[in-house]
């Protein structure tokens, strides 16, 4: 095994451990979504009978404050994870660099000298997470409004089985007196959360990898000229990640690429690279 192979193995072992950590992070993040769903259902059940005329008002005045409260919890949790993971990436890069024959400055001293670069990168990551969480919960708000309205239309049509399809289409504009129980609506909001929960899952996994590799790459800059793109080559690897790890042997100038993730749930990682290390036995 040469030094490059050693670095690759170290990185792959690190990522295997990180993926276990990510599962716990995702589980905790989705727990916040589950709690949000439960509180939304509780608030709907408290409303008694709801007329279609008041759906938008109920969503905006009753449900939206709950959504915003949990959006704040989601953001606080995700930002804390991103901060910790970004620093974990810096530390992992330091560990890989310490295996090389390079004269790498101690991490704490280097961190002080580059504090502005680290902070700027971290701030950008946190800003992006804010945009993702805002978009996620705005979409949930719109989805609840749309789905609850659809329940009224479905209820109206089911209560009038003699109405044919064309009549049902025109009925959509004339059902404003339809009333549904808040408790009944609460039982059917799970569909509103299915897509949101899947997106939250993707966000938590992907942003952890983004923070991790951003910290890794930033630690490499000014220390090495090249990095090697490592894709976990199992039956889950995608064509694009495989290409990044194979084209030009996966070797790129350190400042020429954006760090992984290449796509949602990407598992790629970067290692430092120098052609001379291929001849160093390990």
For the segment 49-79, what is each residue's pLDDT rounded down to a tens digit?
A: 888 778 888 889 999 999 999 999 999 999 9
At 30, is the pLDDT very low, low, confident or very high (cuts 50, 70, 90)?
very high
At 159, is the pLDDT very low, low, confident or very high (cuts 50, 70, 90)?
low
Q: Is the pLDDT of residue 48 over 80?
A: yes
Give, in degrees to the nearest 5, the angle at Cα 124 between 123 and 127: 85
Q: What is the mean pLDDT of residues 163-182?
A: 55
Structure tokens at 31: 């727990």
Q: What is the DSSP string of 34-51?
A: HHHHHHHHHHHHTT-EEE
Residue found by looking up tokens 């050693």 in the block: 6
pTM: 0.86
C-alpha separations of 122 from 87, 259, 264, 267 in Å = 9, 14, 19, 20
The listed range with the strongest mean pLDDT (46-50, 55-59, 202-206) is 202-206
What domain range is 48 assigned to? 3-279
Instruction: Pick the closest to residue 185 from 163, 214, 155, 208 (CA basis).
Output: 155
Q: How far apart are CA 142 and CA 192, in angstroms?
A: 10
Give, in degrees to the nearest 5, the angle at Cα 251 between 247 and 254: 135
What does the pLDDT read at residue 255?
87
Residue found by looking up tokens 């989601």 in the block: 74
Question: How many domains is the chain built from?
Answer: 1
pLDDT in tens, 75-88: 999 999 999 999 99
């Amino acid at each position: 095994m040469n030094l490059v192979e050693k670095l690759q193995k170290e990185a792959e072992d690190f990522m295997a451990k990180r993926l276990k950590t990510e599962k716990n992070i995702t589980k905790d993040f989705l727990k916040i979504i589950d709690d949000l769903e439960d509180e939304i259902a509780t608030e709907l059940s408290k409303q008694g009978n709801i007329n279609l005329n008041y759906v938008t008002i109920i969503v905006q005045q009753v449900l939206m404050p709950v959504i915003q409260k949990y959006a704040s919890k989601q953001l606080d949790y995700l930002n804390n994870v991103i901060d910790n993971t970004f620093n974990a990436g810096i530390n992992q890069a330091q560990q890989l660099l310490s295996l090389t024959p390079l004269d790498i400055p101690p991490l704490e001293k280097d961190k002080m000298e580059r504090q502005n670069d680290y902070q700027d990168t971290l701030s950008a990551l946190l800003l992006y997470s804010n945009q993702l969480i805002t978009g996620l919960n705005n979409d949930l708000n719109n989805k609840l409004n749309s789905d609850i309205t659809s329940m009224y239309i479905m209820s109206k049509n089911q209560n009038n089985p003699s109405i044919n399809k064309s009549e049902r289409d025109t009925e959509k504009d004339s059902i404003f007196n339809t009333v549904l129980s808040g408790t009944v609506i609460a039982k059917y909001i799970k569909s509103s959360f299915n897509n949101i929960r899947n997106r939250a899952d993707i966000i938590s996994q992907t942003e952890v990898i983004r923070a991790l590799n951003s910290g890794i790459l930033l630690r490499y800059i000014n220390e090495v000229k090249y990095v090697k793109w490592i894709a976990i080559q199992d039956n889950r690897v995608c064509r694009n990640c495989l290409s990044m790890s194979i084209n030009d042997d996966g070797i790129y100038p350190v400042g020429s690429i954006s760090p992984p993730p290449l796509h949602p749930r990407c598992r790629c990682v970067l290692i430092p690279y120098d052609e001379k290390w291929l001849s160093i036995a390990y």
